[in-house]
A and B are shown apart, each in its own frame.
Chain A
Amino acid sequence: MVVLEDSSEFQLEIDSVTMSFGGISALHDVSLSVEKGQIYSIIGPNGAGKTTLFNCISGMYRAQRGSIKFDGKELMRLKPPEIAHMGIARAFQNIELFQGMTVLDNLMSARGHLSHYGFLRAAIYLGKCRKEEIKSRDWVEEIIEFLDMQAIRKTPVAGLPYGLQKRVELGRALAMEPKLLLVDEPVSGMNIDETEDMARYLLDINEEMDITVVLVEHDMGLVMDLSDRVTVLNFGTKIAEGTPQEIANNPVVVQAYLGEAES
């Protein structure tokens, strides 16, 4: 089994990840594997450790134990920028946009590592710098069009309504040209129309842009509709994994959610 690891068809492999804050165990021995091209959902009640798992993947938290591999490469010792450069992008649960910048600049700012020029060239802004900037702008404009953000291109993010800010979050992550996209509760606080839009975006991202999506979401309808596979976390422990159908019919899962609802 150890020998076979390198030839794994999984793009993201999380193996026995354990992480605790002081006494609280936020993740306990969590393992899961995501295939390339999947939409993989992670669900669970509040405080189950979903965001913590994302933070471990993107290098913002360092798990005490376990291994996280992306395309066969270990991520555990890497810093967030290095992990981002490998092609893992993130849309945050609580909006973490650059509030003082425009929508356009927020998106452009995620492409720094894809434009290869230094500060001296930047100061002159000729040749390579200009070429790379135009290339970046081309890509970003396509995302702006894809997410229907043409009208707010030059608007400072701080003034935008919540639903739009969530969309900019997604756009900024896409601007990185990721292979794997981590999306944390993209439709929380959104109305039905906005939720439907978001569902369509996520499907298009997965199918047309060919990006693997790992989704954390409380909206069960969305999870059931989109996901190829679902993992359920409860109090930091994985309690079930399977297709949406299997999860919906799993008594342990139902129990976990009912327990949450009663308390």
Chain B
Amino acid sequence: MSGSYKVSYKEDMAIFQNLWVKVWLIIFIILAVFSPILLNRYQLSILNEMGIATIGALGLNLLIGYTGQLSLGHGAFLAIGAYTSALLTGKLGIPFFLSLPLSGLMASLLGLVVGIPSLRLKGLYLALGTLAFAFIVEYILFHWDLTQGDLGMAVKRIGIGDYVIRSQRQYFYLIMAFATFAVICTKNLDRSKIGRSFKAIRDRDIAAEAMGIPLAKYKVMAFGISAFYGGVAGCLMAHYNRWIVPGSFDISLSIAYIAMIIIGGLGTVLGSVLGAILITGVPHGIVYVVDLLKGDYPALSGFIIDFKLGIFGLIIVLTLLFEPKGLFGVYQRTKVYFKTWPFKY
């Protein structure tokens, strides 16, 4: 084998592979640096929600899109992360930068607890198992004294020493940093033996075993890692909204996350990001449209907000029908289109 070839495939193994991706990366960095200056608080708050959703979606995609394990319980892992951090910072006075990884770990631990019995379940049965888990978590949050049920809990501001995060702009930089870190870690997992083992199990579990991939280990690991992302997203969500109630983590949150990864693209990092952006954006889009029409049709607003979940459902169905690869598939096709453009790079 020639030396020059090795050089070329080491480039091939790079995290961001071609110029196309690098251009997007630069655009992204420029936008990230300048958007807090250009956007108003409301617009920034939407970006913040998107950033948090990205972290959660990356995690769920590792479980469903990469490993092929259907879960309806992702919302519960966000809840666990959110309440863990709320309790740790609120009751024990632990600083945010400790409570963040701890809430991820807590969710991860419970993810393992769900993952182990799930080894015997596949497909819909697994989905039902995770749903049952989500109901148990919700029940506990409603009935445990510490979590104050319906009333909800106030969550402390994020503080590092004396520095306290207050403005949307500060949140923006913090959340973007975490989201970017999560994207990079996931990309790395994707191109490592971990990602390949996940996908091998998804595509053909029997063959995966014969190739030396222990199913149980990787299936449980997928649950653990996925729940960790969920827990971190939940923790950020709690400190960002500064008030949590069990109702914000119910089945509709899980479905919103499923909608994200399906419309974005199952089993891809970019898909998780695009899906998170779109599904987080949709309700704001609805609010915007409703505001425009409010003058003419006053009854409309309540009506449409109630149908948010239905709209997610519709998006899922339409995606599965017309573009099963999701936005990632659209991106791929556009890329091919531009690559065949007269001047290649």
Contacts and interface: CB of A to CB of B under 8 A. Distances in A.
A79 B196 contact: no
Interface in B175-201: 185-186, 188-189, 191-197, 199-200
B225 A142 contact: no
B192 A80 contact: no
Contacts of A122: 188-189, 192-195
Nearest to A80: B209
Nearest to B213: A112
Contacts of A81: 209, 212-215
A115 B195 CA distance: 13
Interface string B1-32: 10001100110010100000000000000000
Contact of A99 (B5, B189, B194, B203): B203
Nearest to A118: B194
B210 interface: yes
Interface in B210-247: 210-215, 221, 225
A234 B225 CA distance: 49
Interface in A69-95: 79-81, 84-85, 89-90, 92
Contacts of B185: 123-124
A84 B194 CA distance: 18
Contacts of B200: 98, 101, 109
A89 B15 CA distance: 31
B234 to A, nearest CB: 19
Contacts of B186: 123
A100 B13 contact: no
Contacts of A115: 193
A39 interface: no
A90 B207 CA distance: 9
B211 A172 contact: yes
Interface in A211-251: none
Contact of A138 (B6, B192, B212): B6
Secondary structure at the B interface, as helix, strand, loop or mixed, is helix
A119 B225 contact: yes
A145 B193 contact: no
Interface stretch (A9-17, A21-29, A129-137, A198-206): A129-137
B209 A134 contact: no
B212 A124 contact: no
Contacts of B206: 60, 96
A40 to B, nearest CB: 19
Nearest to B203: A98
A67 interface: no
B204 interface: yes
B202 interface: yes
A176 B199 contact: no
Contacts of A90: 210
Given A60-B210, A129-B192, A100 B9 contact: no
Contact of A125 (B192, B202, B204): B192
Contact of A109 (B197, B221, B225): B197
A227 to B, nearest CB: 24
A124 B194 CA distance: 12
B75 interface: no
A57 B199 CA distance: 25
Contact of B204 (A97, A133, A134, A138): A97
Interface string A141-168: 1100100000000000000000000000
Contacts of B1: 138, 141-142, 145
B267 interface: yes
Interface string A102-125: 000100111111010101001111
Contacts of A100: 199, 202-203, 267
A58 B210 CA distance: 7
Contacts of B309: none
A85 B210 CA distance: 9
B13 A134 contact: yes
A84 B211 contact: yes
Given A98-B199, A112-B197, A141-B1, A124 B188 contact: yes
Interface of A: 58, 60, 79-81, 84-85, 89-90, 92, 96-101, 105, 108-113, 115, 117, 119, 122-125, 129, 133-134, 136-138, 141-142, 145, 172, 176
CB-CB nearest 9 A-B residue pairs: A84-B212, A122-B192, A98-B203, A96-B207, A125-B188, A80-B209, A123-B185, A109-B196, A110-B211
Given A100-B202, A111-B193, 4 more contacts: A98-B208, A109-B199, A119-B189, A123-B188
24 contacts: A58-B210, A60-B206, A60-B210, A84-B210, A84-B212, A98-B203, A98-B208, A99-B204, A100-B267, A101-B203, A105-B196, A109-B200, A109-B211, A109-B213, A112-B213, A122-B193, A122-B195, A124-B185, A129-B188, A134-B13, A141-B6, A141-B9, A142-B1, A145-B1
